[in-house]
Chain A
Amino acid sequence: MQFMLLFSRQGKLRLQKWYVPLSDKEKKKITRELVQTVLARKPKMCSFLEWRDLKIVYKRYASLYFCCAIEDQDNELITLEIIHRYVELLDKYFGSVCELDIIFNFEKAYFILDEFLLGGEAQETSKKNVLKAIEQADLLQEVSHVG
Chain B
Amino acid sequence: MPAVSKGDGMRGLAVFISDIRNCKSKEAEIKRINKELANIRSKFKGDKALDGYSKKKYVCKLLFIFLLGHDIDFGHMEAVNLLSSNKYTEKQIGYLFISVLVNSNSELIRLINNAIKNDLSSRNPTFMCLALHCIANVGSREMAEAFASEIPRILVAGDTMDSVKQSAALCLLRLYKTSPDLVLMGEWTSRVVHLLNDQHMGVVTAAISLITCLSMKNPDEFKTCVSLAVSRLSRIVSSASTDLQDYTYYFVPAPWLSCKLLRLLQCYPPPEDGAVKGRLVECLETILNKAQEPPKSKKVQHSNAKNAILFEAISLIIHYDSEPNLLVRACNQLGQFLQHRETNLRYLALESMCTLASSEFSHEAVKTHIETVINALKTERDVSVRQRAADLLYAMCDRSNAKQIVAEMLSYLETADYSIREEMVLKVAILAEKYAVDYSWYVDTILNLIRIAGDYVSEEVWYRVIQIVINRDDVQGYAAKTVFEALQAPACHENMVKVGGYILGEFGNLIAGDPRSSPLVQFNLLHSKFHLCSVPTRALLLSAYIKFINLFPETKATIQEVLRCDSQIRNSDVELQQRAVEYLKLSSIASTDVLATVLEEMPPFPERESSILAKLKKKKGPGAVSVTELEDSKREGGELNGGGDRGSDTAAMAASNASTPSPSADLLGIRSAAPIGAAPASAGSLLVDVFSEAGPAAPSAAVSDDGFLRDLEQPTETSDSLLVEGSGDSDPKFPVSHRFVCKNNGVLFENQLLQIGIKSEYRQNLGRMYLFFGNKTSVQFASFTTTVSCPGELQSHILLTKPVEPLVEGGAQIQQVLNIECLTDFSEAPLLNIKFRYGGALQNLTLKLPVTINKFFQPTEMASHDFFQRWKQLSQPQQEAQKIFKANHSMDTEVLKAKLLGLGTALLDNVDPNPENYVCAGVIQTKSQQVGCLLRLEPNAQAQMYRLTLRCSKDSVSKRLCELLAEQF
- Residues from chain B with Cβ under 8 Å of A106 in the complex: 64, 67
Task: Check B522 for interface membership: any CB of A closer than 8 A.
Answer: no
Task: Check B445 for interface membership: any CB of A closer than 8 A.
Answer: no
Q: Are A78 and B347 in contact (CB under 8 A)?
A: no
The DSSP consensus for interface residues of chain A is helix
Residues 108-123 of A contacting B (Cβ, < 8 Å): 108, 110-111, 114, 118-123
Q: Are B382 and A45 in contact (CB under 8 A)?
A: yes
Q: Are A137 and B92 in contact (CB under 8 A)?
A: yes
- Residues from chain B with Cβ under 8 Å of A133 in the complex: 129, 163
* A90 CB, nearest partner CB in chain B, Å: 11
Q: Which of A45, A121, A125 has the most CB of B within 10 A?
A: A121
* A71 CB, nearest partner CB in chain B, Å: 10
Among B230-238, B617-625, B741-749, the stretch that binds chain A is B617-625
Would A49 and B170 be within 8 Å (CB), given that A81-B308, A114-B137, A118-B133 are in contact? no
* B119 CB, nearest partner CB in chain A, Å: 14
Task: Check A39 for interface membership: any CB of B closer than 8 A.
Answer: no
Task: Check A9 for interface membership: any CB of B closer than 8 A.
Answer: no
- Residues from chain A with Cβ under 8 Å of B682 in the complex: none
Residues 606-647 of B contacting A (Cβ, < 8 Å): 621-626, 629
Task: Check A75 for interface membership: any CB of B closer than 8 A.
Answer: yes
A122 to B71, CA, bound (A): 31
Type the 1/0 row for A130-142, where 1 means its CB is closer than 8 Å to any CB of B: 0001001110111
* A91 CB, nearest partner CB in chain B, Å: 12
- Residues from chain A with Cβ under 8 Å of B23 in the complex: none
Type the 1/0 row for A57-78, where 1 means its CB is closer than 8 Å to any CB of B: 0000000000000000101111
Would A78 and B305 be within 8 Å (CB), given that A123-B170, A125-B257 are in contact? yes
Task: Check A36 for interface membership: any CB of B closer than 8 A.
Answer: no
A111 to B3, CA, bound (A): 17
The DSSP consensus for interface residues of chain B is helix
Of chain A, the residue at the smallest CB distance from B134 is A114
- Residues from chain A with Cβ under 8 Å of B7 in the complex: 108, 137-138, 141-142
* A3 CB, nearest partner CB in chain B, Å: 12
Q: Are A126 and B246 in contact (CB under 8 A)?
A: yes
A81 to B100, CA, bound (A): 25
A144 to B124, CA, bound (A): 15
- Residues from chain A with Cβ under 8 Å of B63 in the complex: 107
A106 to B3, CA, bound (A): 14
- Residues from chain A with Cβ under 8 Å of B2 in the complex: 94, 100-101, 104-105
Type the 1/0 row for B262-291, where 1 means its CB is closer than 8 Å to any CB of A: 010010000000000000000000000000
* B417 CB, nearest partner CB in chain A, Å: 13
* A134 CB, nearest partner CB in chain B, Å: 9
Pick the residue among A13, A82, A101, A124 that contacts B67 (CB under 8 A): A13
Q: Are B174 and A46 in contact (CB under 8 A)?
A: no
* B22 CB, nearest partner CB in chain A, Å: 12
* A29 CB, nearest partner CB in chain B, Å: 10
Of chain A, the residue at the smallest CB distance from B262 is A75
* B310 CB, nearest partner CB in chain A, Å: 9
Q: Are A119 and B136 in contact (CB under 8 A)?
A: yes
Q: Are A136 and B126 in contact (CB under 8 A)?
A: yes
* B263 CB, nearest partner CB in chain A, Å: 7
Type the 1/0 row for A84-101, where 1 means its CB is closer than 8 Å to any CB of B: 110000000111000011
- Residues from chain B with Cβ under 8 Å of A129 in the complex: 163, 202, 246
Residues 2-46 of B contacting A (Cβ, < 8 Å): 2-3, 6-8, 14, 17, 21
A92 to B278, CA, bound (A): 42
Would A48 and B347 be within 8 Å (CB), given that A103-B17, A104-B17 are in contact? yes
Of chain B, the residue at the smallest CB distance from A53 is B625
Would A118 and B257 be within 8 Å (CB), given that A45-B382, A77-B348, A145-B89 are in contact? no
- Residues from chain A with Cβ under 8 Å of B92 in the complex: 107, 111, 137
Q: Are A104 and B174 in contact (CB under 8 A)?
A: no
Would A140 and B256 be within 8 Å (CB), given that A52-B625, A111-B92, A126-B247 are in contact? no
Q: Are A141 and B305 in contact (CB under 8 A)?
A: no
Q: Are B311 and A77 in contact (CB under 8 A)?
A: yes
- Residues from chain B with Cβ under 8 Å of A47 in the complex: 343-344
Task: Check B255 for interface membership: any CB of A closer than 8 A.
Answer: yes
A80 to B171, CA, bound (A): 23
Type the 1/0 row for B315-357, where 1 means its CB is closer than 8 Å to any CB of A: 1000000000000000000000000000110111000000000
A101 to B139, CA, bound (A): 29
Of chain A, the residue at the smallest CB distance from B166 is A123
Q: Are A141 and B96 in contact (CB under 8 A)?
A: no
- Residues from chain B with Cβ under 8 Å of A118 in the complex: 132-133, 136, 166-167, 170-171, 174, 206
* B129 CB, nearest partner CB in chain A, Å: 8
Q: Are B343 and A46 in contact (CB under 8 A)?
A: yes
A19 to B171, CA, bound (A): 11
Would A53 and B381 be within 8 Å (CB), given that A78-B305, A140-B126 are in contact? no
Task: Check B312 for interface membership: any CB of A closer than 8 A.
Answer: yes
- Residues from chain A with Cβ under 8 Å of B133 in the complex: 114, 118
Pick the residue among B88, B140, B246, B629 that contacts A128 (CB under 8 A): B246
- Residues from chain B with Cβ under 8 Å of A140 in the complex: 88-89, 126
Of chain A, the residue at the smallest CB distance from B625 is A53
Task: Check B259 for interface membership: any CB of A closer than 8 A.
Answer: yes
Would A107 and B625 be within 8 Å (CB), given that A121-B173, A121-B209, A124-B202 are in contact? no
* B254 CB, nearest partner CB in chain A, Å: 8
* B315 CB, nearest partner CB in chain A, Å: 8
Q: Are B206 and A75 in contact (CB under 8 A)?
A: no
A30 to B745, CA, bound (A): 52
Pick the residue among B209, B382, B623 that contacts A52 (CB under 8 A): B623
Q: Are B8 and A141 in contact (CB under 8 A)?
A: yes
- Residues from chain A with Cβ under 8 Å of B132 in the complex: 118
Type the 1/0 row for B891-925, where 1 means its CB is closer than 8 Å to any CB of A: 00000000000000000000000000000000000
Task: Check B307 for interface membership: any CB of A closer than 8 A.
Answer: yes
* B201 CB, nearest partner CB in chain A, Å: 7
Q: Are A53 and B167 in contact (CB under 8 A)?
A: no
* B343 CB, nearest partner CB in chain A, Å: 4
A80 to B88, CA, bound (A): 33
A45 to B388, CA, bound (A): 14
Task: Check B676 for interface membership: any CB of A closer than 8 A.
Answer: no
Q: Are B69 and A13 in contact (CB under 8 A)?
A: yes
- Residues from chain A with Cβ under 8 Å of B958 in the complex: none
A119 to B444, CA, bound (A): 54
A110 to B93, CA, bound (A): 10
* A56 CB, nearest partner CB in chain B, Å: 10
Q: Are B301 and A81 in contact (CB under 8 A)?
A: yes
Of chain A, the residue at the smallest CB distance from B129 is A133
Pick the residue among B1, B86, B170, B249 that contacts A81 (CB under 8 A): B249
Would A49 and B384 be within 8 Å (CB), given that A75-B312, A78-B305, A106-B64 are in contact? yes
Would A81 and B255 be within 8 Å (CB), given that A73-B263, A121-B209 are in contact? yes
Q: Are A123 and B202 in contact (CB under 8 A)?
A: yes
Task: Check B178 for interface membership: any CB of A closer than 8 A.
Answer: yes
**7 sample A-B contacts, Cβ–Cβ < 8 Å, listed by A number:** A24-B71, A80-B308, A81-B256, A108-B6, A110-B96, A121-B206, A125-B257
Instruction: Given contact pairs A44-B381, A81-B255, enumerate 15 new A-B contacts (beta carbons under 8 Å).
Output: A13-B69, A53-B624, A53-B629, A76-B311, A76-B344, A80-B308, A81-B256, A118-B136, A118-B167, A119-B136, A119-B170, A121-B209, A124-B163, A124-B202, A141-B89
CB-CB nearest 10 A-B residue pairs: A77-B308, A119-B174, A78-B308, A121-B209, A118-B170, A126-B246, A52-B623, A140-B88, A144-B87, A141-B89
Interface residues of B (CB under 8 A from A): 1-3, 6-8, 14, 17, 21, 60, 63-64, 67, 69, 71, 86-89, 92-93, 96, 100, 126, 129, 132-133, 136-137, 139-140, 163, 166-167, 170-171, 173-174, 177-178, 201-202, 205-206, 209, 245-247, 249, 254-257, 259-260, 263, 266, 301, 304-305, 307-308, 311-312, 315, 343-344, 346-348, 381-382, 384-385, 387, 621-626, 629
Interface residues of A (CB under 8 A from B): 13, 15-16, 19, 21, 24, 28, 42, 44-50, 52-53, 73, 75-78, 80-82, 84-85, 93-95, 100-101, 103-108, 110-111, 114, 118-129, 133, 136-138, 140-142, 144-145
